[in-house]
Amino acid sequence: MSTRTLAPPPPVKDVRDLKEAMDAQGAEDLRALALRHGLTVSGARPPLPDYLRQLWSRRHFITAFATARLTAQYSQARLGQVWQVMTPLLNAAVYYVIFGVLMNTRAGVPDFVPFLVTGVFIWTFTSSSIMAGTRAVSGNIGLVRALHFPRASLPISLALQQLQQLVFSLCALVVILFCFGVTPGWSWLLAAPALALQSLFNTGVSLVMARLAARTPDIAQLMPFLLRTWMYVSGVMWSVDHVLAHNHLPHAVLLALECNPAAVYIDLVRFALIDSFTSAQLPPHVWAVATGWALFAAVGGFIWFWKAEETYGRG
């Protein structure tokens, strides 16, 4: 019978070393037992393909959550869902008085009212999506801590809510365009891919803001000021093409204004809906720029949010 020589145990200096050695051995035994029975760490970040599958399996929850939030948004107001249209319209009226009349930005811009209202509605879609994203995790912390689900469901569902709200706004926009003599044409079909690209961009930025605000909630207080500044340089109330043609600005400034993603999506929708807004007013390679921003924000934002999956709701 062969004998087996056992390696001597590591020297134990005192009782504390012995306790640490026993704890380590116990942890190894428990880990081996868990792996043998297929158990995994609770809340651990799954691989990206598995995460995508989990997210797809919860698509019905995402849709229902977005619809429920949209329905409850103005439930306490007497006019209810009418405010979904009234809010951007009132903003457009204020901007018309201040910028169109007092600052005369309407000079040289044909169909200024359709131009302005389209810009306000499309900008509101982006700004509301980003603001909703900043509160996606921090504003639903109870849900995040109570249930295990892909956390990306929250910012995606809130971005979907803003897309649903945009549908109401577009109905009002069509009526306004009719009232000011803008008639439908085949070019209106171009609004669909433009809004689809904008939706991807908004969702990606919402995912980025959701991760940032989950760690630093004060970002939600700072975002209104940043968004207001972004709006002023995005040609919502004035024509980017008109300003570039009549001002000698540095090339870097010109490039930044032309490639500004908010301005790109606004101009694409204006080009689709307003006959007087022609292709000459669009920046070069505008569809390539719009697609690039959408893919960069959506893919990059999703991966960046996924990398912090196991940290949400902790601390």
State pLDDT tens for residues 32-73. Answer: 655 665 555 556 778 899 999 999 999 999 999 888 888 776
Higher pLDDT, 180 or 208: 208
Segment 143-162 mean pLDDT: 89
Quick check: is 295 in a domain? yes
In a domain, 181, yes or no: yes
pLDDT at residue 294 in the model:
97
| Residue 26 is assigned to a structural domain of this protein | no
The pLDDT assigned to 3 comes to: 53
Mean pLDDT of 127-131: 93
**Domain membership flag for residue 4:** no
User: What pLDDT, on the 0 to 100 scale, is given for residue 207?
Assistant: 96
> For residue 93, how far is the Cα from the chain centroid?
26
Q: In sequence order, what are the residues at sequence separation of 6 or more whose Cβ sits closer than 8 angstroms to the Cβ of residue 182?
A: 111, 114, 273, 274, 275
Q: Residue 12 is inside which H or E element, if any?
A: none
Output DSSP code: residue 39: -
Q: Is residue 15 in some structural domain?
A: no
**Residue 77 is encoded by which pair of tokens?**
């107001």
23 in any annotated domain:
no
Burial of 25 (0-12, 13-18, 19+ CB in 10 A): exposed
pLDDT confidence tier of residue 92, bands split at 50, 70 and 90: confident
- pLDDT at residue 315 above 70? no
Least confident of 22-26, 44-48, 169-173, 227-231: 22-26
Domain-embedded: residue 280: yes
Q: Does pLDDT of 16 surpass 70? A: no
Residue pair 74/87 in contact (Cβ under 8 Å)? The answer is no
3-state secondary structure (DSSP) of residue 38: coil
**Segments forming the whole domain that contains residue 231:** 45-311
C-alpha angle 117-119-121 in degrees, rounded to nearest 5: 70
Q: Which pLDDT does position 282 carry in this prediction?
A: 87
Please tell me the pTM assigned to this model: 0.82
Residue 11 included in any domain: no
Q: Per-residue pLDDT for 75 more than 70?
A: no
- DSSP state letter for 305: H
Name the token pair of 267: 């101009």
| Number of folded domains that form the chain | 1
Check residue 146 and give its pLDDT: 82
Across 91-98, average pLDDT = 81
Who has greater pLDDT, 172 or 125? 125
CB atoms within 10 A of CB 236: 26
